[in-house]
Amino acid sequence: MERHCAWIMTDPDYIAYHDQHWGRPEYDDRKLFAMLCLEGQQAGLSWLTILKRMPDYHLLFADFDPVALAAFDDEQVEALLTDPRIIRNRLKVQAIIQNARAYLALQQQDISFAQWIWQFVDGQPIINRWQQRSDVPTSTPQAEAMSKALKKAGFKFVGPTICYAYMQAVGMVNDHLIDCPWHSLCKHSLS
């Protein structure tokens, strides 16, 4: 594929992320949890900043295993805050641990994270038909509802803008521009 959405940079990692992951519907609980945590790390930064550090996040945060993360103690937090491989923001580091605890609380209620998170789009991707980058919103009523529910469930760094970026990333909305070849491919890649 030669064309990409207009927002794609020339960085090969960014292109690979766009072509292989962004906008493809994801239904795996753990992958959805990991991406929610990673989107929260982006707050105030570019996605490329997080994308370049993604392997380190997986390494340092127990591959986003909620059980392991929920057990992280103050000593582990302090060690993370000295590691230059991640964004060393105390609130963001603590948010990942808190999100793991909130995730586990949902599990204890026999709630599938995938089913719970996909309820905000009635279980099916919303297929948008944006012509240009300026058409794409930064939030929607569905993202606002998701943000409110996540906060109520105890999750952190889940504002409406973060939630919409998350929805785009995990394919809950297909926001590939209409002239991007991946628009139609993601439309048909339901798991």
> Over the stretch 106-116, which tens digit does the pLDDT of each residue have?
999 999 999 99
pLDDT at res. 190: 42
Is residue 57 among the annotated active site residues?
Answer: no
Contacts of 24 (CB under 8 A, 6+ apart): 171, 186, 189
**Which of 14, 26, 39, 130 is flagged as catalytic?**
39
**Which of 47, 103, 116, 130 is flagged as catalytic?**
47
Question: How far is CA 16 from each of CA 21, 48, 52, 61, 71, rounded to the nearest angstrom?
Answer: 8, 12, 12, 23, 33
Q: What domains, with CATH codes, occur in the chain?
A: 12-187 (1.10.340.30)
**Does the pLDDT of residue 189 top 70, yes or no?**
no
Query: What's the rounded Cα separation, in Å, for the pair 188 and 191?
Result: 9
Convert the pLDDT of each residue in 137-148 to its tens digit: 999 999 999 999
Helix (H) or strand (E) holding 167: helix 160-169
Site of tokens 């959405």: 5
pLDDT-derived band at 15, boundaries 50, 70, 90: confident
Is residue 17 among the annotated active site residues?
Answer: yes
pTM of the model: 0.93
Residue 53: both structure tokens together: 């550090």
CA 190 to chain CA mean position, Å: 18
Is residue 75 among the annotated active site residues?
Answer: no
